[in-house]
Amino acid sequence: MTSRIPVPDGSDFPLANLPYGVIDAGEGPRLAVAIGDHAIDLRVAAGVGLLPHGAALSAPTLNPFLALGRTAWLETRIALTELLTTDRFDRLPGGAVQARAGLSMVRPFDPGDFVDFYSSIHHAANLGSLFRPGTEPLNPNWRHLPVAYHGRSSSIVVSGTPVRRPRGQVRPGEAPPHTAPTTALDFELEVGFITGPGNALGDSISADSAADHIFGLVLVNDWSARDIQRWEYVPLGPFLGKSFATTVSPWVVTLEALSPYLVPGVPQDPEPVEYLRTRGDWALDLELEVTLQPHGAAAGQVVTRTNFAGNYWTMAQQLAHVTINGTNVRPGDLYASGTISGPTRGSEGSLIELTRNGAEPLRLGDGTERTFLRDGDTVTLRGWCQRPGLPRLGFGECTGMVLPAT
């Protein structure tokens, strides 16, 4: 099939993708779907009967559409594909198709809850080796359950939103603790999934039914202030060192679009307990990279590349673990993977790993070095799926610039 809207070669958003976002062209937030360099205003298309579920598609956020469930999502995807490949396209009113370059992007969903996992075995081993040298880098529970903590949903922002350097309590060495801006600001390369219909309080979601509850995926930069976190995290884990900002990409790539790129997960030893056992492929062959652009530099420099398929715990296992105690999932909740790192140098998903906690600074193309982020630095995450015989599907950019502390 060929799209009636031309799609440039190498675009993140071919006809096989059709990711959802929220745009603002001066008339308030509108749901939209990206195709090539353009976006389709779903309120306009649904308003003339070209798409089903018009009430949900006319909302200013994805949450009502997420609540409809998988059958409605598939019906809408089929209708969008038909709209873009047949003469139904000629019935679109003026203004329904807009150039993406002229649009402002809004956070596409309203997250009621945010959970951040710790699911990359390479990342966990890297940090364990840095902070507990000479001991087993993984804690005893790590291979038995997807370790996670609750994050703060109010500070989840859309790509392009500047991130203010946070202040907090730090303790360098044995000196008395004091309040200061972080000097160890870091990025974290992550992927998150967005939930649709959830479960009743007291019930759980099985790993095998996860596809009925996961709508799609976004790129996530879960910024981290390592010095604040280092002082506060024992015994209850991250708090102020993580809650100041989490950036998500503006387009949600649906699980349906990504299904051809699902691959077998990494071998798990020991075998997970029963509720964490899955059938089918749940790892995603998703190439990832991070660029760092110093203030005033003409372009960013790639500082790491890795692949999401190497994560130890999968999305289905994560969702099953979240709900095994009966907690209730709701439409629009965000569940992030935790930092994604690979097994080789240059595939680490954070500066603390890339620089060995500052011991081995990164040298950038402008001649400067980085142990952690400086004011004016811009960090951009990118991700794409590309396999033989299949089209390239991308996520767009997840970007943020560091502003000085107040």
Catalytic residues: 123
Contacts 24+ apart (CB under 8 A), 204-208: 204/275, 204/320, 204/323, 204/324, 204/325, 204/326, 205/319, 205/320, 205/322, 205/323, 205/329, 206/275, 206/320, 207/275, 207/276, 207/277, 207/278, 207/316, 207/317, 207/319, 207/320, 208/278, 208/279, 208/316
Which residues in 110-213 belong to E strands, given as ranges? Answer: 114-117, 148-150, 156-158, 163-164, 167-170, 178-181, 185-186, 189-195
Whole-number Å distance between alpha carbons of 98 and 180 = 45
3 state SS of 77: helix
Whole-number Å distance between alpha carbons of 214 and 333 = 10
Whole-number Å distance between alpha carbons of 345 and 340 = 13
Whole-number Å distance between alpha carbons of 266 and 156 = 30
Cα of first residue to Cα of last residue in the chain, in angstroms, is 53
Amino acid of residue 398: C
Two tokens, residue 58 = 């006319």
3 state SS of 192: strand
Q: String of b and e for 161-171 (b: at least 16 CB within 10 Å)?
A: eebebbbbebe
Two tokens, residue 368 = 């400067």
